[in-house]
Amino acid sequence: MFILPPQVEFALNKLNFAGYEAYIVGGCVRDILRGEAPSDYDITTSAEPEQTKAVFKGERIIETGLKHGTVTLIKDGTPLEITTYRIDGDYTDNRRPNSVKFTKTLTEDLARRDFTINAMAYSKKTGVVDAFGGQEDLKNGLIRSVGDADHRFNEDALRIMRALRFASVLGFKIENETKKSIIKNRNLLNNISVERIATELVKLLCGKNAKDIILEYYKVLEVILPEIKGMQGFDQKNRWHIYDILNHTALTVQNSPATPVFRLTALLHDCGKVDTFFVDDNGVGHFYGHPEVSNKKAQTTLKRLKIDNATSDTVLTLIKCHDMPIEPTKPAVKKVLNRLSPDIFFKLLDVKRADNLAQNLELTKDVLVTIDNIEKIAKEIINSGECFSLKDLAIGGNDLINVGIPAGKELGKALDFLLDAVMNEKVENEKQALLGYLSGKM
Ligand code: ATP
Ligand code: MG
C-alpha cells in the first residue's frame, strides 16, 4: 500500500542514515490509507532544522520556517517539507502558538495535530504510527479532535473550518463531542484571518458533501458569512419552492459543478431573498429584485473574503443574471451571448440548471428542458460562426465613415442597429447587403 515516490524515499533514508528518525506524516498518510494519491508529502523528523540542513548539504534547501522547525528540500523538482518533531507552546490568540519547542518523541508531535485522521505517521521500518485511533476513525468516516476538542479549537479556531472542510471533501461525519465543541466555539472564528477562512470555505463548498455540511453547520457559516443569515426555515410561500431558502441554497450548491465560481455563486445567489420577500393578496410569496440585492450582498462577502477579482466578477455576474429569462430562440440567445460572452453564458445555464433542480421539479422539469434547448441553440450559433457581436459583424466603423456617417454616437448607433438586424435575420451578414440595408433605413 505504501509505495513512496523516490524523492521521499531518498529523504527518509538520508535522515535515517545520519541517525535520525523520519516519517511521512499527516495528510499524505491519511490519503494513502484511503487509497488516494497524496497531493504532497510532509516529513517529520527527530533532526533539528540545522541538522536537517547538514544532512542535505549540497541539495536544494529552502529555509521555509526555521523557527517552526521547517526546512523544504527540493528534490528533482519536488518540494518536500521536513519538520522537526514539535510541541506547540501556549496559544493566546486562537491562531498561532506563542512558541514552539522541539522534542525527540514522535507521539508528542502527533498530539499537536488537529484530527485523528491527520495525526498518523508512517515509515517502512515502523509501519503506521497511530496513537489516537486515526485508522479506526478513517474506517468509520469520522473527524475527531486529537485530545480535548474545546481546548484544541481554542488554541487554533481555524481547525473549526478545517473540520468542516474535511467532512465535506471526504464525505465524513464530525464525531459528536467534536461537533458540539465546534458549535459552541464558533465565534472564535472572528479571530481568524479572512484569507485562511476563505481557503477552507472554498474547499468546503467544492466538497462532495457540501450540502450536508451547510445544513448541519449553518450556525458556524453564519459567523463568517453574515450575508447568508435568515435563510433557515424561511418559507418562500410559493408553489415553485418546496424548500426553505437554506435547503434550496444547499441543494443548489450540491447540484452545481464543483468549482469555486459555481459553488460561491450557488451559495450566495439567493441571499437577497430574505430582504425582498413580499406576500401578495393571495398569500403568494415573491422576491422582486432579489438578484440585484443578492449581487450587492455578495459583493460585500467576496470583498471581505478577498476572493480574487476574476472569480468575484464572474460570480457577481452569474448572481445578477441567475433569474434572467432567456427565450429559446436564436435572436434572443444571440442577444444574451453578445451581452455576456459565450463562456459566461454557458456558465449561466449551469447555474440555472442547479437552481431549478433545487425547486419543485413538477414545475421546473419544463424549465430544465428549455435550458437544454437554449444550450443547443447557443452551440449551434457558435459552431456555425453566426454573428452575435460587433466584432463578428461584416462591417466596421471605418466602412461606415467611408460612406459618410460621422464618427461618434451616430456611428455606434448605426453599428448596433445593423447587429440587431443581423441577429434577427433581417439582413445577411455581408458588407454590401449591410450597407444597402442601412441606406434603405436612413
Ligand atoms: P490537504 O490534503 O489539504 O493538504 P492536509 O491534512 O495535508 O490536507 P495541511 O494543511 O497540508 O493539511 O497540513 C498538513 C498536516 O499538518 C495536517 O495533516 C495536520 O496533521 C497538520 N495541521 C495542519 N494544520 C493544522 C492546524 N491548524 N492545527 C493542527 N494541525 C494542523
Ligand atoms: Mg497537505
Q: What confidence tens digit (pLDDT) does each residue in 14-29 have?
A: 999 999 999 999 999 9
Pocket test for ligand 1, best of 30, 93, 118 (most atoms within 8 A of CB): 118
Ligand 1, atom 7: nearest CA belongs to which residue? 27
- Measured in angstroms, how far is the CA atom of residue 304 from the centroid of ligand 1? 24
Atom of ligand 1 nearest to the CA of 110: 20
- Measured in angstroms, how far is the CA atom of residue 49 from the centroid of ligand 2? 20
Rounded to whole angstroms, the Cα distance separating 71 from 89 reads: 20
Ligand nearest to the CA of 25: 1
Atom of ligand 1 nearest to the CA of 159: 27
3-class DSSP assignment, residue 91: strand
Task: Report pLDDT digits (tens) over 344-368.
Answer: 999 999 999 999 999 999 999 999 9
User: Is pLDDT of 370 > 90?
Assistant: yes
On the CB side of 89, CA atoms within 13 Å amount to 10
Q: Same fold for the domain at 1-137 and the one at 141-224?
A: no
- Minimal CA–CA distance to 51: which of 25, 81, 71, 65? 71
Beta-carbon neighbours within 5 Å of ion ligand 2:
27
Ligand 1, atom 1: nearest CA belongs to which residue? 27
Ligand nearest to the CA of 170: 1
Ligand 1, atom 26: nearest CA belongs to which residue? 114
- Measured in angstroms, how far is the CA atom of residue 417 from the centroid of ligand 2? 56
- Measured in angstroms, how far is the CA atom of residue 118 from the centroid of ligand 1? 7
User: Span 69-83, mean pLDDT?
Assistant: 95
Reported as a pLDDT band with limits 50, 70 and 90, residue 422 is very high
Q: What pLDDT, on the 0 to 100 scale, is given for residue 171? A: 98
- Measured in angstroms, how far is the CA atom of residue 417 from the centroid of ligand 1? 58
**Residues in contact with ligand 1 (CB, 6 Å cut-off):** 26-27, 39, 42, 113-114, 118-119, 156, 158-159, 162
Q: What pLDDT, on the 0 to 100 scale, is given for residue 27? A: 97
3-class DSSP assignment, residue 285: strand
Q: Are 411 and 397 in contact (CB under 8 A)?
A: yes
Task: Report pLDDT digits (tens) over 117-158.
Answer: 999 999 999 999 999 999 999 999 999 999 999 999 999 999
Q: What pLDDT, on the 0 to 100 scale, is given for residue 90? A: 77
C-alpha angle with apex 130: 125 to 131, nearest 5 degrees? 120
Task: Report pLDDT digits (tens) over 282-302.
Answer: 988 888 899 999 999 999 999
User: Span 41-48, mean pLDDT?
Assistant: 97
Atom of ligand 1 nearest to the CA of 203: 3
Ligand nearest to the CA of 30: 1
- Minimal CA–CA distance to 387: which of 306, 440, 344, 333? 333
Domains of the chain, by residue range, sit at 1-137, 141-224, 390-441
* Helix, strand, coil percentages, rounded to 5, for the chain: 55, 10, 35
- Measured in angstroms, how far is the CA atom of residue 116 from the centroid of ligand 2? 15
User: Is pLDDT of 104 > 80?
Assistant: yes
Pocket test for ligand 1, best of 41, 43, 83, 113 (most atoms within 8 A of CB): 113
Q: What kind of fold does domain 141-224 have according to CATH?
A: Hydrophobic Seed Protein (1.10.110)
Q: What is the value of pTM for the model shown?
A: 0.94
On the CB side of 69, CA atoms within 13 Å amount to 21
User: Span 322-342, mean pLDDT?
Assistant: 96
Q: What pLDDT, on the 0 to 100 scale, is given for residue 235? A: 87
279 or 3, higher pLDDT: 3
- Measured in angstroms, how far is the CA atom of residue 182 from the centroid of ligand 2? 22
Q: What pLDDT, on the 0 to 100 scale, is given for residue 100? A: 84
H/E stretch holding 62 reads strand 60-65
Ligand nearest to the CA of 83: 1
- Minimal CA–CA distance to 68: which of 27, 100, 105, 28? 100
Q: Are 146 and 131 in contact (CB under 8 A)?
A: no
Reported as a pLDDT band with limits 50, 70 and 90, residue 442 is low
- Measured in angstroms, how far is the CA atom of residue 72 from the centroid of ligand 2? 14
- Measured in angstroms, how far is the CA atom of residue 96 from the centroid of ligand 1? 14
Atom of ligand 1 nearest to the CA of 28: 7
Q: Are 45 and 86 in contact (CB under 8 A)?
A: no
Q: What pLDDT, on the 0 to 100 scale, is given for residue 89? A: 79
User: Is pLDDT of 320 > 80?
Assistant: yes
3-state secondary structure 100-130: EEECCCHHHHHHCCCEHHHCCEEECCCEEEC
- When the candidates are 2.60.120.380, 3.30.460.10, 3.40.250.10, 3.30.365.10, the CATH number that belongs to 1-137 is 3.30.460.10
